Amino acid sequence: MTLRTIDSLGELAGKRVVVRCDLNVPLDGETITDDGRVRASLPTLNALLAQGARVVVISHLGRPKGEPEAKYSLRPVAARLGELLDAPVGFASDTVGEDAQAKVAALGDGEVLVLENLRFNAGETAKDDAERRAFAEQLAAFADVVVSDGFGVVHRKQASVYELEQLRPSAAGLLIAAELEVLDRLTETPERPYTVVLGGSKVSDKLGVIAHLLPRVDTLLVGGGMLFTFLAAQGHKVASSLLEADQLDTVRGYLAEAAERGVELVLPSDVVVAASFSADAEHVVTAADAIEETPFGSAGLGLDIGPETAADFAARIRGSKTVFWNGPMGVFELAPFAAGTRAVAEALTEVDGLSVVGGGDSAAAVRQLGFDDAQFGHISTGGGASLEFLEGKQLPGLEVLGWQ
């Protein structure tokens, strides 16, 4: 693979390095509930600090509408970053305004400053190229060089991800390099048997991934809300479970292609069906082809894979050399419907080979269920970016770094 790395930037002592991180962490008030993305930024930041660089960290958080919103402030993230670096971390109360300008100017060698949320500025996500570039030029005024390390946003053409990297010498950070090494192995050189586990709510979110990976994998395991569209495509009734009726023909095509290619596309043999969508709802385990035969009839909701399926999926995962997992097996946020996701996560920790958790809800699930990041071969920081890479798409935030 071709990618400009930090080494290409030369000696960085005394230089102002603007680092585009992805610090888009979940907050409960001002409390960070999952600091995985902050931790993932540490190797690059420590490497720059070890060289004596003056580090200016930029990131977005949440989806503000181009103007400041207190609930999306990066101030709590800057505080947590300081704890993890075990060093003082400054914070600017604006992104390119007077406070940022003054604090960047005062930054010393080996010091870190976090600027306020990029998306408090409309230019960051503007559809207009000139508007994005104008904001990027304001950010570039703070930089001698730029390091792009926010893998979770490389699929977006945004000012800090694309235009900024064109305005100054730029390179990928250690996180992006590590993500690409893993994803390249998944698409180009997987050790076999190679199993992909897909879950989450919608088939439509995974269409490109299924199409791109079917020719490359040995086994495809399907769970989560998307499984009901697959069952319906086979002619089974799914009661009130999540169903994308407009995707039935597409799914039938995938089932046929898998059979033609000799790929084992495995659907659940049993599911957990509930009377309603709540943690205290009455629920039963039933065969996947008998969902409407529960006491709840056509009102039943499938909310998890069943125990038989969980055991089957786990055995297939443990028997693989390469496993990529994206999307929970059920509504893991509700304890009665977390068993399927837990079984898949547990099995991934036992893979004798490469196990990859594909970011997004899957990464949140493993942490919420009590697993440690170190138990997996790799946990991606970019759900959407990982999926688009695995779909074979060109990602603007990588192209601008020389990736090809």
Binding-site sequence positions for (2R)-3-phosphoglycerate? 37, 119, 156
In the β-sheet with 54-58, what is the strand arrangement from edge to edge? Answer: 89-91, 112-114, 54-58, 16-20, 145-148, 170-172
The token duo for 200 is 């989450």
CA 36 to chain CA centroid, Å, is 11
- Give the active site residues: 37, 202, 360, 384
Euclidean distance between CA atoms 148 and 216, whole angstroms: 30
In the numeric block, the tokens 């053409």 are attached to 157
Euclidean distance between CA atoms 404 and 401, whole angstroms: 9
Euclidean distance between CA atoms 305 and 223, whole angstroms: 6
Euclidean distance between CA atoms 232 and 235, whole angstroms: 5
Q: HSE, CB side, 13 Å, CA atoms: give it for residue 393.
A: 17
Angle (nearest 5°) at CA 112 between 358 and 135: 75
Euclidean distance between CA atoms 216 and 392, whole angstroms: 12
Residues forming the annotated binding site for substrate?
22-24, 37, 60-63, 119, 156
Residues forming the annotated binding site?
22-24, 37, 60-63, 119, 156, 206, 302, 333, 359-362
Euclidean distance between CA atoms 209 and 198, whole angstroms: 9
The token duo for 272 is 């957990």
Helix, strand, or coil (residue 377): coil
Cβ-based neighbours of 89, under 8 Å, separated by 6 or more: 78, 79, 81, 82, 112, 113, 114
Q: Using alpha carbons, select from 48, 72, 51 the residue that is nearest to residue 60.
A: 72
Q: Quick check: 172 and 20 in contact, CB under 8 A?
A: no
Q: HSE, CB side, 13 Å, CA atoms: give it for residue 32.
A: 20
Helix, strand, or coil (residue 172): strand
Q: Quick check: 46 and 171 in contact, CB under 8 A?
A: no
The token duo for 13 is 């002592």
Beta bridge partners of 112: 55, 89
Q: Quick check: 354 and 191 in contact, CB under 8 A?
A: yes
